[in-house]
Amino acid sequence: MATRKKNDPQQPDLRADGSPAKPADAPKSPESTNGNGDTHVIAEETPAVVHRPFLPGEIEMPLHRRVDTGFLQYASYVIRDRAIPNLEDGVKPVQRRILWTLHQNDDGRFIKVANVVGDCMKYHPHGDASIGDALVVLANKRYLIEGQGNFGNIYTGDPAAAPRYIECRLTQLAREELFNDEITRFIPSYDGRNREPVLLPSKLPLLLMLGTEGIAVGLSCRILSHNFPELIQAQIAILKKQPFKCLPDFPTGGLMDARDYADGNGSIKVRAKIKEKDESTVVIRELPPTTSTESLIASIEDAARKGKIKIKAINDFTSEDVEIEIKAPSGVSAQQLTDALYAFTDCEVSITSRIIVIKNNRPVELTVSEVLRENTDQLVRLLQQELELKKQQLEDELHFRTLERIFIEERIYKKIEQCKTNEAVIAAVFDGFKPFRKELLRDVVDADVERLLQVRIRRISLFDIQQHREQMDKTRADLAETLRHLKNVVKYAIGHLEALLEKYGPQYPRLTRSSRHEEIDAKEVAFKSFKVAYDRESGYVGYKVSGDEFKIDCTKFDKLLLVFKDGHFKLTELPEKFFVGPDLIHVGLPDRERVFTCAYTDREASYLKRFTFGGIILNKDYRCIPEKARILFFAPDTPETLYIRYKPAPHQKINQQTCNPSDVDVKSPKTLGRQISIKDISSVTAEPTRGWDKEAATTKVMFS
């Protein structure tokens, strides 16, 4: 590998591209500093660089610089030209190219989608799969593309048929509101053989109408679709300087809680529409967005497997409309099942909105109101351009009709019969119009003369002056109306929007109804689907243990309180199968208000206490009796009477006693308790046991 020694005076320092570097004492380029303290080098003229030959084995550019440059170029391309929609026309490049292709081939008839994809590949360099998928999505949104054939099912998630079997065309709304070639700016396509629009001159708020998702390099957007008539009404309100509010609307329907939508920078909760068919059956009629009948049923079955809900059967009768029937098992009402479906399945989804768009060739984050105001300003600008263009066309038409009338009525065409050359013919026409200059809108130019000379003899001989005057009067009326609209473009824009609303509003009713959802506590609606048990012989506890002790019905969210013979206790998550050993004396659900009764003994005396466990940290060991003490009796709640038997001892007169535990105050687990006796206790029970002498005198414990 050819290398150069460091600081070799025989070889000059070279840049990464192989050109000589500046010596250390060369004058530096002037610099400027912005308000943030960042320094920028001001570009200056440099002499032409003479590149030296590339030597084999050398790397022209360091790898990290090459990676950085390539990554930034790729990130910029993905953000601007693939994933993020443009604010002005509201579509991504692939969607724009599909619409332009349909416009180019539009003759009112349906076109094979395969043909549209093939033609669109002249503009889109990323293959046919992305074009076909994007076209199907646009067709299913109903506004711009009308489909014929199987374009998939938005309810079931079934895919569309192959492109060779389905057809499409532009809707009338798209034809009228998206295209105007005379005010569209074009650029060459990627191979230079065709031209494509930079942006479509859209007069519709497509960004919010269609909604979109895009994931770029380090950037993503999620724009929710909105109701078309409501967007038009909001634009009218903007032009009239009135307040407005827009909420999302989804083709699958559902019930929406948009309290946290925050003008497009928050989130919404959307629920499936569930109706109770009878006491134990519910039917899902509408789906939340981002779900299908297949994914929704899968989430319900998954929740049932995990024990979060109980269901008896699921039947999917979906065809043109959604109909999923769910039957609850005995003991579970339809209302309980509905609450559980919202809490544990995709019957309720939360969707976050983030409106990021390309504006002035760079990504920006906006709100719904800002997007609508930008779209409304663009609508006014486009309408003004169209009016000015129409005004120019009407003036040109009126000018030529006037020229044509004078040319024929005043027989100017007769003057060119004697002319021998083309220059003489043109000069004769110009001279013939000089006496009538006051009747013309502007001076006669060469193009006017060329057009007049192309008028056929048949047209001259059949010229109807009355019909011609009527056509001129109509043109003047159209021109006057156009000038009137130009004087008040805002009023004209309001009329344009009102006409759109009247024509297309009934076709696009709101599908997602707005409502305020009551928050469902998942713990409250969870089913007790887990049966916990303890097997003392094996030492395991959990809902996958087949034991006979401490059987409890639990929910997925429940915790277990475990108390052991040595007096320590802990709180644990609901276990499948957890080894605790043979010394467990209590398994239960934690309850801060529940009172427990405990009798224990140490080397000096025996004690009785009542306490509540209170707040416990998960998986942390606690003690309810002192170390080296031994539990004699432990039970939840408070027995009416405790029966205490003492071990026999010389000169001991009292061998058994009773006590009333309710005489002991309720305190914390750390309390010492009330002393029962200093005698050795044989047993403490809540019922008289075998060996209890019912005829012997029994005294009552006097707590000290």
Sheet holding 281-286, edge to edge: 273-278, 281-286, 324-327, 313-316
Contact of 85 with 358, CB cutoff 8 Å: yes
Q: What is the DSSP annotation of 269-310? A: EEE-EEEEEETTEEEEEE--TT--HHHHHHHHHHHHHTTSS-
**165 tagged catalytic:** yes
CA distance 477 to 416: 34
Which of these is catalytic: 165, 504, 508, 646? 165
CA distance 300 to 298: 5
Helices assigned H by DSSP within 211-292: 228-239
Q: How many CB atoms lie within 10 A of CB 574?
A: 19
C-alpha torsion sign, points 411, 417, 419, 423: positive
Q: How many CB atoms lie within 10 A of CB 229?
A: 19
Q: How many CB atoms lie within 10 A of CB 37?
A: 6
The bridge status of strand 255-257 relative to strand 219-223 is unpaired
Contact of 288 with 349, CB cutoff 8 Å: yes
Q: Which two tokens stand for residue 613?
A: 């466990």
CB-count exposure of residue 617 (10 Å: 0-12, 13-18, 19+): exposed
Please give the torsion angle defined by the CA atoms of residues 391, 392, 398 and 402, in that order, rounded to the nearest 10 degrees: 150
C-alpha torsion sign, points 195, 214, 261, 344: positive
Q: Which two tokens stand for residue 531?
A: 């049966």
Residue positions annotated with a catalytic role = 165
